[in-house]
A and B are shown apart, each in its own frame.
Chain A
Amino acid sequence: MRAVVPAPRQRTMTQRRLVQIAALAGMLLTFAVMMLTNTARDVGAIGLAPWVGLFGYETGVVGGLAAAALGIGLWLVASNDQDVAVTPLTLAIRIVVFVLFALASSLVGRRMREGERTHRSQLTLQSALIDSTLDGMCLTDAEGNVLISNAPLRRLSLELGLPAEGTVPERLIAVAARTTEPERYRIRMRELGQNPMASSEDEFELRGSGRVFRGYTAPITDADGRFGGRIWTLREITADRELDRLRDAFVAGVSHELRTPLTSISGFLEMLRDEEESLGEAGRMYLDVIRRSTDRLQRLVEDLLLVAQIEAHRLELVLDTVELDDVAAAAVEAALPTAHEREVDLRLELDGAPTVHADAGRLAQVLDNLISNAVKFTDAGGSVTVSVVKNGAFAQMTVADTGVGIPRDEQSQLFSSFFRASTATRQAIPGTGLGLVIVRAIIEQHGGTVDLESREGKGTTVTVTLPVDSGEAAA
């Protein structure tokens, strides 16, 4: 991509000198014409005025006044030669007019040159600004031709081997074959061509080198809201992806390793069950604490491994016909002891719960996560309502609580790994910040969606929407 931020055409000293010479030559030529054609009376001083103005514009006040003096002198010579009467008044008027004209022209010229310098300086700063980012950026017109591009984009274009000619979509599609998913890449590019007003963010990896890039493009519109072109950005995220990979490998490795000591702990705890009666009351209490902690550690390991699977896009579902009311009833029943212990009223409302084609185990995990969150974040005396309804071609599972809620500015981060709302950390409510990540990944894998509404101090409602079985939907 060859285009750069366009700098205004800077006039060189040579160009300015040429204009000055032209102004002088024009003045002398006008004088010569007046002399040769005997037209000093008809043409008069007015014929010399433009050249005085031009000279003053280019050279400034001193040059302008000098040109005015020369113009008056030439006019006097011509007038004298052709016996044109010059009274002191007419001479004074011409001198004043020439001087004012020269001054005005020189001031206008100076203002213009200053404006030009300021504009040039601003463009240089803007150019430096967009060149100093790590992202490659360019702006294209409605046809996709590059209007402006920055230095990182020109460097990345060279490294990617993008063709030097053509529109941006044409140049980008030229490297499709070198990506790890050429067909997906081509489809994305075609979609962009078909939807001029669409924004798009996409990642692609180059085959062989393993370099990963994230591209973003958004339309720009003119004052009337019509499509006027696009802004494109390109960022290399190879290092980010490598860090993600290392983090996932580390988490997965540690989690797998944790399973070995967990096997010993939980296995020997199971052995101890037979001898529990022989323990004193304190011993049994200690055993309960160890058992609960082991269960918690085991859940944490399972969650970490599941998130690693999710982030590596390796989450697999075992699909079957699932009665949602059974899943919901089982999840509520499992959570009842904890709800009673916390004095939270846990209710189940079923209204023609439909059948879905889903992974029953994973859906149970979704509801377990949502219900345990709701119970955990609801104070004694509050309530948690789990409902399952059919809504057209969709099934909706809702878990609504009257708990502490989540601050509005934190809600967008709730589905990020390890994020915990301030309402949770303030009250030291235990958790890993993985539950909602898992919920969303499982539901999206089923082709569904998760929506969350929350008001701090009022409560939270999470709605899971799933497509129902086609047979069920038809019925």
Chain B
Amino acid sequence: MRPRVLISEPNAEVRRLLELTIERLGYEPVQPTPCGPPPAVDAVVIEPAAAESHSLLHRFGDDVPPVICLSVYPREAGLAPPESVAYLVKPSSQTALGVALRDVFSS
């Protein structure tokens, strides 16, 4: 069974791109549900500048999966949640996202 990766990205085109990229990298892209408990996933890719990303993480409660940030803002902006294991700045290459996801699943 392929590892599942939840995507929280406010821009529809970037969201679609992430779905395709994650699919190509061999993982299963998952879209968040609008409310209620979030789907069971192995990792989350978020845009930390979007409020919806933080509310999504909040819905995980104490069991937040590893978080990869993919942001328009640099790491110095201090937007990354404590659960983040990697921080990429847009536009990031497919390779960089692949490395970050591989690191998450190999650990």
Q: Enumerate chain A interface residues (CB-CB to B < 8 A).
A: 256-257, 259-268, 270-271, 298, 305, 314, 316
Contacts and interface: CB of A to CB of B under 8 A. Distances in A.
Nearest to B93: A270
Tell me which of B17, B89, B91, B92 has the highest count of chain A C-beta atoms within 10 A of its own C-beta.
B91
B17 A267 contact: yes
B94 A263 contact: no
Interface residues of B, number: 17
A271 to B, nearest CB: 6
A75 B80 CA distance: 109
A298 B92 CA distance: 11
A259 B76 contact: no
Contacts of B14: 260, 263-264, 267
A266 B93 CA distance: 8
Contacts of A260: 11, 14, 72, 90
B94 A270 contact: yes
Interface string B78-100: 00000000000111111000000
B27 interface: no
A314 B92 contact: no
Contact of A271 (B13, B20, B76, B90): B20
Interface string B10-29: 01011001001100100000
A265 B11 CA distance: 13
B10 to A, nearest CB: 9
Given A263-B14, A271-B17, 17 more contacts: A256-B73, A259-B89, A260-B11, A261-B13, A262-B90, A263-B11, A263-B17, A264-B11, A264-B14, A266-B93, A267-B14, A267-B17, A267-B91, A268-B17, A271-B94, A314-B76, A316-B76
A264 B13 contact: yes
A264 B72 contact: no
Given A314-B76, A316-B76, A259 B17 contact: no
A44 to B, nearest CB: 99
A256 B20 CA distance: 23
Nearest to A255: B72
